Amino acid sequence: MPGRFRIYFVSSNEHKFREIKLVLMEYNISAIRRKADLKEIQSLDLEDIAREKAFSAHEIVKKSIIVEDAGLFIDALGGFPGPYSSFVQQTIGCEGILTLLRNKLSRKATFKSALVCADRNGKLLTFLGGVTGTISQDLCGDHGFGFDPIFIPDGHRDTYALMLDAEKNLISHRAIATRKFADWFLKRQRTKE
Amino acid sequence: MPGRFRIYFVSSNEHKFREIKLVLMEYNISAIRRKADLKEIQSLDLEDIAREKAFSAHEIVKKSIIVEDAGLFIDALGGFPGPYSSFVQQTIGCEGILTLLRNKLSRKATFKSALVCADRNGKLLTFLGGVTGTISQDLCGDHGFGFDPIFIPDGHRDTYALMLDAEKNLISHRAIATRKFADWFLKRQRTKE
């Protein structure tokens, strides 16, 4: 059954879309995916990157849209790979991160998400989510994507990649940001009615 | 003695400016530094990044300008750190690169430079330079910046960081791109006269 409300999610990442779509279904919001070749800026600030991307996405789609950017910030590596997680994943991968942490005392890390909504008029709103955790000793699990096989959220024994989408969505950085957005979105729809 | 011709170099990197200024002096071209907070795009292509930056710099300065972007592309790391060399340098640094290469058979790498000139009307021209080499076993040398202490250009025994600016300028990726630009620039001035 399609949700009562609709929002366009602009991304080339199928995994992200699936996670966000699942969360929004709980709120009766249908996420519709739009692919677009969006230029991303280089910045140490996830929010900056996501806001610029939302601006570009809105210029193309001309409707209410959301975009999302995420990054893994590892304490002992000065915040690396941070906003460049996707590039780092494609080059040195999870194995590279484990190599870099081999002699480090701390394995603490934070997975952050910045979800930005551009409304019909292009006004931007940002919703942030963050989850602290540790980097595992080895790769573990096949679900998810990116650094999911090496991130163990605090209070859990499993990596993100050992969790099904529905499980990850109960706790993840992306789900936190998405729920904040959904709450705001539904409230706004109600005031319109 | 000031050079006969002038060009604005837009950058926040003092080291780059000094290297480029020195090369251009040989051609009787004065490089004048302009600082500007330019947004960089995320791309795997140095040339794309530099062209977007040149476009933004010209919008601000409204004169003939040059910008330069460089990256170290390491074969065994799938091109990492590539266009994100500056961020990687600030987080995991040269030590991080050495750690990542510890068990790799190949230490081959290419240092690339993309220098883009925007002329008075904003028309963009790109000049590329590249130098192949190997990553050293240890950090070596105090000169230069970035990954200079771990890059040994082919045909040499020393890292970039063991060379003075004037020595590095005889062979470096940045100098190659800068000389290509200088040749073009002088030729254009001559046809104007």
Residue B160: CB partners within 8 Å, gap ≥ 6? B111, B141, B143, B144, B147, B148, B149, B151, B152, B153, B168, B172
Burial class from Cβ neighbours inside 10 Å (0-12, 13-18, 19+) for residue B29 reads: buried
What's the pLDDT score for residue A57?
A: 93
Helix axis angle for B14-25 and B173-192, nearest 10°, is 50
Domain CATH number, residue B39: 3.90.950.10
CA distance B80 to B75: 8
Task: Tell me: pLDDT of A110 over 90.
Answer: yes
Question: Among residues of chain A, what percentage have pLDDT more than 90?
Answer: 84
DSSP-based three-state secondary structure for A133: strand
What's the pLDDT score for residue B3?
A: 66
Q: A45 or B40, which is more confident?
A: A45
The minimal CB distance from A80 to the residues B39, B43, B91 is found for: B91
**Inter-chain touch A91–B80, beta carbons under 8 Å:** yes
- β-partners of residue B40 are A42
CA distance B28 to B104: 45
CA distance A17 to A32: 9
DSSP string, B83-96: TTHHHHHHHTHHHH
**Inter-chain touch A91–B79, beta carbons under 8 Å:** yes
Question: What average pLDDT is seen over chain A?
Answer: 93
- pLDDT mean for each 10 residues of chain B (193 residues): 82 92 95 86 87 93 94 97 93 97 96 96 96 97 94 97 94 98 93 77
pTM, two decimals, is 0.86
Q: Which domain holds residue B169?
A: 5-192
Number of domains in chain A: 1
Question: pLDDT digits over A114-173, tens only?
Answer: 999 999 999 999 999 999 999 999 999 999 899 999 999 999 999 999 999 999 999 999
- Among this protein's residues, is B69 annotated catalytic? yes
Q: Which of B45, B69, B154, B183 is catalytic?
A: B69
Query: Closest Cα to residue A102, out of B100, B106, B107?
Result: B100
CA distance A114 to A112: 7
Per the structure block, which two tokens stand in for B100?
A: 């990542």
Choose the weakest-confidence range: A29-38, A70-79, B71-80, B89-98: A29-38
Chain A positions in Cβ-Cβ contact with residue B100 (cut-off 8 Å): 92, 96, 99-100
What's the pLDDT score for residue A191?
A: 85
